[in-house]
C-alpha cells in the first residue's frame, strides 16, 4: 500500500512535524470530483464514523445502490438542495507523510472566480476528466487557470477508467492530447494518472486493472511531490506588516518590524534597503517570538531589527541593496474580474498589494483572454464577471512589485470596490511593470 | 540563537503558526477596534498563544471578550484568569443575565444558554463598537465551516450570508467594512483538531484541567456522558457512575458531554485522537445534534 493511514502510526503523527501540501481540485460533479475527495478522506481514515454513518443513511434514503461519497463534502444546505457546489470549500486530511489542505472548487462555467481563489494558494492543481468524455472545454479552462495562477504542479486524473474497460488506448489518447495542449501553458510538472474514484483504483491503492500503468498512485504522488524548491530563496522580500513598539519600561527602545517573509532569506548582517524611501541599513537581529533565529525564509512570520534608526512603517518593503523590486505606479497585469458590474477604462478602485493599500485607475483594457481557446480579443473594451484580461492600471502609491511569474506574493494584488468594500478583482503582475 | 532548518523547510505546524501570526498582525494593523472572543476552550487559548507571539514583547493590542453563560466550568474560568494575568490582557465579560436585562436576548425558558450567547455576543460587539472579532473556529469542525473565509463579513445585524462571501485570494485579506458592520476573523481556519493538540503539546500551553482524564460523577443521557451537577441530576432510571473521563470541548456544562479516557497528558490525548472515530462535536455537543444543518443556522444568525 502506498500510504499508511494515520491510525496505524500515531507515534509519527504525535511528532506533529510533517510537511504541508495545499492543492486545488477542479472538475464538475459529473467528473466525480466530490467522490474522489470523499475517497481520499475515507481511504486516509480522515472520515469519522458519525460522518460516514450520516452519508450512508442519506444514500439509503435516496435509494442509491452505493454510498455516495460526494455527500461528505456537500457543505451548505442551500447547495445540497440544488445539488451543486457553489463556493470554495476547504478540506483537511493527513497521512504520516504530509498534511493536506484541499481547496475544493466548483467546476461550473460561471465559477471561474472560485477556481482562481482556490488556485491562488495551491502548490498543486488536480484536474479531473471523465475517461468517456476525454478533454472538454472545461478541463482545458481549468488547466489554463492553474497555469495563469502559476500553480507549479499539475495532476490530470483520468477518472471512471472502469467505464472504458481500463483501456490503455483511452488513457494514452487523453494523455497525448493534454500534453499537446499544455505546451502553450506554463506547467512545469505534469502527472497523468488513470483512476476510478468510485472504486478506489490508483487513488490510494495501486490498481490491478492497470498493469500497463507504471506511474504513482494519486496519493503516493500527493505525498511525495517535491514542493520545497518552488519557493524563491534568492530574492529577499520582506513586506513590513506591523511595527512593534512596546513602549514599556522593560523594552523601552524596542523597535521591531514584523511581517511574513515573501522571498529570499534574511539574516543578521545583511545589508538591506527599505523601499520606497531607498534608505539603507543592516539587519541587526531576526526574531521569532522571544527567540533570536539565524535565518528567516518564506513563509515565516518574524520580527526584524535594523542597526540604524531609519523610518520604516507598514507598507514598506525590506529588500537587498542590489536586488530589490522596482517601485512602480504603472501596473500591467492579468486581472480576473469577479463581480457583475463590468470593469471599464477610467474606473477607480482600491488596490491592496502585499501590506500596501492605495487607489488605482484603469488606464486600458488591452485584451480579454478566452480561457478556452487562449484567443486574445483586443476589441473587448471591458471585462465581465468571471472574465480575465490584460489591464493597465495607474496607482496613487508606488507598488513594490515583482512579476507574478517570479513571486506569487509580491506579484499579486486584489481590487476592491470603494463603495461596497467587496473584493471585485484579482491581479497578477506582468514582467513589464 | 536558534538555528533554523538547514533545508529551508517548515513543518506544517510552523506554517500554520506563521499564517495565523500574519492574520493577527494584519487585523491589528487595519482595524480600528479588534477584540478576541475568548471562550476558555483550547482553541481560544491557542489563539491567545499565537497573538502573544505575534506582538511580543508588546502587550496584545486588543482586549479579550468572554460571553459568560453562567454555566461555565470553574476550571475553565481559573485557566482564563491565569492567562489574562500572565499576559496583562484587558478582559471584558459579557453575561447572558446582563444581556437579558438589557433586552438583547429573551429568556423564553425554551432557548438553550448556548443559543442565547448569540444575542449576548452581538450586544457586546455593538455596545463596544468592535470592528473585528477574532474567533477560534476551524474549517475542519463542521461542514458549514468548510466554506467560511478567514475574514468573514457580518452585516449590521451580525449575520453571515454564505452566498455573499467575498473571494479571498493569496494572503491578501480585505478588511473593508461599513459603519455598524464588523468582521469575524478566524486565524485558526486551516488548523485541524490534531494540529491544535500537537501545538499545545509542543508549546506546553496551559489549558483547563478538565481536558485531561480525571475521575468524575457522570450520567449517561442520549448517548452522551454528562457531568453530575446542580443542573444535571439523574432522571427516571438513569444512574450516577464514577468514571475516568475527559472533555473534548468545554462549552456550557449542561450541554457538554465528556468521553471515557485514560489520557492524562497531551501526548496521550494525541494518541487517542489519532485513533478516534467520532468527530469532536458529534460526540459531545448536544447543541449540534438537533439537525444536520444546525451549525449553518446558528452561523447565519451570528454564532461564533
Instruction: Report ipTM (2 d.p.).
Output: 0.91
Q: Do B171 and A49 touch (CB under 8 A)?
A: no
Residue A176 CB partners (closer than 8 Å, separation 6+): none
Domain B12-195+293-301 fold is Rossmann fold (3.40.50)
**Structure-model confidence comparison of residues A77 and B94, the more confident one:** B94
What is the CB neighbour count within 10 angstroms for residue A203? 28
How many angstroms separate the CA of residue B186 from the nearest CA in chain A? 14
**DSSP one-letter string for A145-210:** HHHHTT-SEEEEEEE-GGGGTT-HHHHHHHHHHHHHHHTTS--SEEEEEE-BTTTTBTTTBPPTT-
What is the CB neighbour count within 10 angstroms for residue A408? 23
Instruction: Output the CA angle A143-A149-A153, nearest 5 degrees.
Output: 60
Measured CA to CA, the distance from residue B209 to residue B203 in angstroms comes to: 16
Q: Do B29 and A241 touch (CB under 8 A)?
A: yes
pLDDT over 70 (residue A390) = yes
- A:346-405 residues touching chain B, CB 8 A cutoff: 350, 352-355
Checking phi first, is residue A81 left (phi over 0); if not, alpha (psi -120 to 50) or beta? Answer: alpha
- φ, ψ dihedrals at A349, nearest 5°: -145, 165
Is residue A155 packed enough to be buried (19+ CB in 10 Å), middle (13-18) or exposed (0-12)? buried
Q: pLDDT (tens digit, 9 = 90+) per residue, A249-276?
A: 888 889 999 999 999 999 999 999 999 9
**Under 8 Å between Cβ of A416 and A349:** yes
Q: Do domains A6-230 and A237-320 have the same CATH topology?
A: no
Q: pLDDT (tens digit, 9 = 90+) per residue, B139-169?
A: 988 777 788 899 998 877 767 776 667 889 9
Cα Rg for chain A, rounded, in angstroms?
A: 24
Closest chain B residue to A58, measured at CA: B292
A10-19, A73-82, A368-377 — most confident range: A368-377
A31-45, A80-94, A95-109, B185-199 — most confident range: B185-199
- A:314-333 residues touching chain B, CB 8 A cutoff: 314
CATH 3.40.50.620 domain span(s) along chain B = 12-195+293-301
- B:26-45 residues touching chain A, CB 8 A cutoff: 26, 28-29
Q: pLDDT (tens digit, 9 = 90+) per residue, A307-365?
A: 999 999 999 999 999 999 989 999 999 999 999 999 999 999 999 999 999 999 999 99
Instruction: Output the CA angle B21-B25-B28, nearest 5 degrees.
Output: 140
pLDDT over 60 (residue A4) = no
pLDDT class of B282 with cuts at 50, 70, 90? low
pLDDT over 80 (residue B25) = yes
Instruction: Output the CA angle A412-B23-A413, nearest 5 degrees.
Output: 10
**Which one of A241, A295, A404 would you mutate to disrupt binding with B, by most B Cβ within 10 Å of its Cβ?**
A241
How many angstroms separate the CA of residue A162 from the nearest CA in chain B? 30
Residue A51 CB partners (closer than 8 Å, separation 6+): A72, B279, B282
A289: its cell numbers: 517570538
- A:77-136 residues touching chain B, CB 8 A cutoff: 77-78, 86-92, 94, 98-99, 101, 113-114, 116-117, 120-121
Closest chain B residue to A116, measured at CA: B169
CATH class of A237-320: mainly beta
Q: Do A75 and B147 touch (CB under 8 A)?
A: yes
User: What are the chain A neighbours of B274 within 8 Å (beta carbons)?
Assistant: 6-7, 10, 13-14
**Structure-model confidence comparison of residues B301 and A152, the more confident one:** A152
Measured CA to CA, the distance from residue A267 to residue A290 in angstroms comes to: 16
Q: Chain B within 8 Å of A20 (Cβ-Cβ)?
A: yes
Q: Chain A within 8 Å of B270 (Cβ-Cβ)?
A: yes
Burial A272-298 (b: 16+ CB within 10 A, else e): bbbbbeeeebebeebbbbeeebebbbb
pLDDT class of B1 with cuts at 50, 70, 90? low
Burial B147-174 (b: 16+ CB within 10 A, else e): bbbbbbbbeeebebebeebbbbbbbbbb
Q: Chain A within 8 Å of B65 (Cβ-Cβ)?
A: no
User: What are the chain B neighbours of A230 within 8 Å (beta carbons)?
Assistant: none
Q: Chain B within 8 Å of A139 (Cβ-Cβ)?
A: no
Q: Do B176 and A421 touch (CB under 8 A)?
A: yes
Measured CA to CA, the distance from residue A326 to residue B224 in angstroms comes to: 62
pLDDT class of A1 with cuts at 50, 70, 90? very low
Residue A47: its pLDDT value, please? 67
**Under 8 Å between Cβ of B164 and A86:** no
**Among the four given CATH numbers 3.30.70.20, 3.40.50.970, 3.40.50.150, 3.40.50.300, the one describing domain A6-230:** 3.40.50.300
pLDDT over 50 (residue A10) = no
**Structure-model confidence comparison of residues B271 and A202, the more confident one:** A202
Partner residue opposite B56 with nearest CB, options A290, A412, A422: A290
Q: Chain B within 8 Å of A251 (Cβ-Cβ)?
A: yes
Q: Chain A within 8 Å of B19 (Cβ-Cβ)?
A: yes
The helix/strand/coil state of B134 is strand
The helix/strand/coil state of B153 is strand
Partner residue opposite A6 with nearest CB, options B29, B177, B274: B274
The CATH homologous superfamily to which domain A326-429 belongs is Translation factors (2.40.30.10)
Measured CA to CA, the distance from residue B13 to residue A98 in angstroms comes to: 11
**Domain boundaries, given as residue ranges, for chain A:** 6-230, 237-320, 326-429
* H or E, element range at A40: helix A33-43
**Under 8 Å between Cβ of B151 and A51:** no
**Under 8 Å between Cβ of B294 and B287:** yes
* H or E, element range at A141: helix A137-148
Residue B278: its pLDDT value, please? 55
Distances (CA, A) of A188 to A138, A153, B55, B200: 21, 7, 39, 38
User: What are the chain B neighbours of A81 within 8 Å (beta carbons)?
Assistant: none
User: What are the chain B neighbours of A77 within 8 Å (beta carbons)?
Assistant: 292-293, 296
Mean pLDDT, all residues of chain B: 85
Q: Residue A43 pairs with which residues in a beta bridge? A: none
Residue B267: its pLDDT value, please? 92
Amino acid at each position: 500500500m502506498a500510504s499508511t493511514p494515520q491510525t496505524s502510526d500515531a507515534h509519527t503523527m504525535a511528532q506533529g512535524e510533517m510537511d504541508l501540501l495545499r492543492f486545488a481540485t477542479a472538475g464538475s460533479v459529473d467528473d466525480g470530483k466530490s467522490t474522489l475527495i470523499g475517497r481520499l478522506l475515507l481511504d486516509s481514515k480522515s472520515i469519522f464514523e458519525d460522518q460516514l454513518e450520516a452519508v450512508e443513511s442519506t444514500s439509503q434514503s435516496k435509494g442509491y445502490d452505493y454510498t455516495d461519497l460526494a455527500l461528505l463534502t456537500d457543505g451548505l444546505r442551500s447547495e445540497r438542495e440544488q445539488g451543486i457546489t457553489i463556493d470554495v470549500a476547504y478540506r483537511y486530511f493527513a497521512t504520516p507523510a504530509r498534511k493536506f489542505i484541499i481547496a475544493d472548487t466548483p467546476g461550473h462555467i460561471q465559477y471561474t472566480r472560485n477556481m482562481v481563489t482556490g488556485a491562488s494558494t495551491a502548490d498543486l492543481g488536480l484536474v479531473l476528466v471523465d475517461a468517456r468524455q476525454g478533454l472538454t472545454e472545461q478541463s482545458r479552462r481549468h488547466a489554463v487557470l492553474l497555469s495563469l495562477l502559476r500553480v507549479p504542479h499539475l495532476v490530470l486524473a483520468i477518472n471512471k477508467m472502469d467505464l472504458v474497460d481500463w483501456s490503455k488506448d483511452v488513457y494514452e489518447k487523453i494523455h497525448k492530447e493534454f500534453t499537446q495542449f499544455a505546451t502553450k501553458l506554463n506547467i512545469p510538472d505534469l502527472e497523468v494518472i488513470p483512476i476510478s474514484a468510485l472504486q478506489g483504483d490508483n487513488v490510494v491503492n495501486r490498481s490491478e486493472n492497470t498493469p500497463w500503468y507504471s506511474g504513482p498512485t494519486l496519493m503516493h504522488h500527493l505525498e511525495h511531490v517535491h514542493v520545497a524548491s518552488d519557493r524563491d530563496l534568492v530574492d529577499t522580500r520582506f513586506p513590513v506588516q506591523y511595527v512593534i513598539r512596546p513602549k514599556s519600561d522593560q523594552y523601552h527602545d524596542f523597535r521591531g518590524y514584523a511581517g511574513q517573509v515573501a522571498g529570499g532569506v534574511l539574516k543578521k548582517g545583511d545589508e538591506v534597503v527599505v523601499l520606497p524611501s531607498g534608505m539603507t541599513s543592516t539587519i541587526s537581529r531576526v526574531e521569532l517570538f522571544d527567540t533570536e533565529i539565524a535565518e528567516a525564509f518564506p513563509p515565516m512570520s518574524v520580527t526584524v531589527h535594523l542597526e540604524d534608526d531609519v523610518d520604516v512603517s507598514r507598507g514598506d518593503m525590506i529588500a537587498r541593496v542590489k536586488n530589490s523590486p522596482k517601485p512602480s505606479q504603472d501596473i500591467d497585469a492579468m486581472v480576473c474580474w469577479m463581480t457583475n458590474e463590468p470593469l471599464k477604462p477610467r474606473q477607480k478602485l482600491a488596490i491592496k498589494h502585499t501590506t500596501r493599500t492605495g487607489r488605482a485607475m484603469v488606464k486600458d483594457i488591452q485584451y480579454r483572454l478566452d480561457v478556452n481557446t487562449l484567443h486574445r480579443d483586443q476589441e473587448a473594451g471591458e471585462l465581465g464577471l468571471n472574465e480575465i484580461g490584460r489591464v493597465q492600471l495607474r496607482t496613487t502609491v508606488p507598488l513594490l512589485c515583482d512579476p507574478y511569474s517570479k513571486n506569487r506574493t509580491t506579484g499579486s494584488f486584489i481590487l476592491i470596490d470603494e463603495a461596497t468594500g467587496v473584493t471585485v478583482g484579482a491581479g497578477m503582475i506582468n514582467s513589464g511593470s | 540563537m536558534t538555528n533554523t532548518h538547514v533545508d529551508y523547510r517548515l513543518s506544517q505546524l510552523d506554517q500554520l503558526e506563521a499564517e495565523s501570526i500574519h492574520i493577527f498582525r494584519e487585523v491589528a494593523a487595519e482595524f480600528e477596534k479588534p477584540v478576541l472572543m475568548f471562550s476558555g476552550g483550547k482553541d481560544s487559548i491557542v489563539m491567545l498563544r499565537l497573538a502573544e507571539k505575534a506582538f511580543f514583547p508588546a502587550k496584545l493590542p486588543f482586549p479579550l471578550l468572554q460571553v459568560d453563560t453562567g454555566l461555565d466550568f470553574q476550571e475553565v474560568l481559573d485557566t482564563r484568569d491565569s492567562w489574562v494575568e500572565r499576559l496583562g490582557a484587558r478582559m471584558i465579560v459579557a453575561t447572558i443575565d446582563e444581556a437579558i436585562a438589557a433586552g438583547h436576548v429573551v429568556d423564553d425558558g425554551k432557548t438553550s444558554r448556548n443559543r442565547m450567547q448569540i444575542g449576548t455576543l452581538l450586544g457586546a460587539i455593538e455596545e463596544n463598537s468592535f470592528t473585528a472579532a477574532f474567533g477560534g473556529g476551524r474549517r475542519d469542525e463542521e461542514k458549514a465551516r468548510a466554506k467560511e473565509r478567514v475574514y468573514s463579513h457580518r452585516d449590521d445585524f451580525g449575520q453571515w450570508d454564505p452566498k455573499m462571501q467575498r473571494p479571498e485570494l493569496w494572503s491578501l485579506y480585505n478588511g473593508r467594512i461599513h459603519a455598524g458592520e464588523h468582521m469575524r476573523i478566524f486565524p485558526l481556519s486551516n488548523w485541524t483538531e490534531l494540529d491544535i493538540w500537537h501545538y499545545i503539546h509542543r508549546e506546553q500551553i496551559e489549558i483547563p484541567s478538565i481536558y485531561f482524564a480525571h475521575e468524575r460523577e457522570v450520567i449517561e443521557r442520549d448517548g452522551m456522558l454528562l457531568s453530575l451537577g446542580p443542573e444535571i441530576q439523574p432522571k427516571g432510571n438513569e444512574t450516577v457512575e464514577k468514571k475516568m473521563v475527559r472533555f473534548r470541548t468545554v462549552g456550557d456544562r449542561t450541554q457538554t458531554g465528556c468521553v471515557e479516557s485514560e489520557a492524562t497528558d497531551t501526548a496521550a490525548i494525541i494518541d487517542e485522537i489519532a485513533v478516534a472515530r467520532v468527530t469532536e462535536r458529534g460526540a459531545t455537543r448536544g447543541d449540534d445534534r438537533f439537525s444536520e444543518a444546525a451549525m449553518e443556522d446558528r452561523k447565519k444568525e451570528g454564532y461564533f
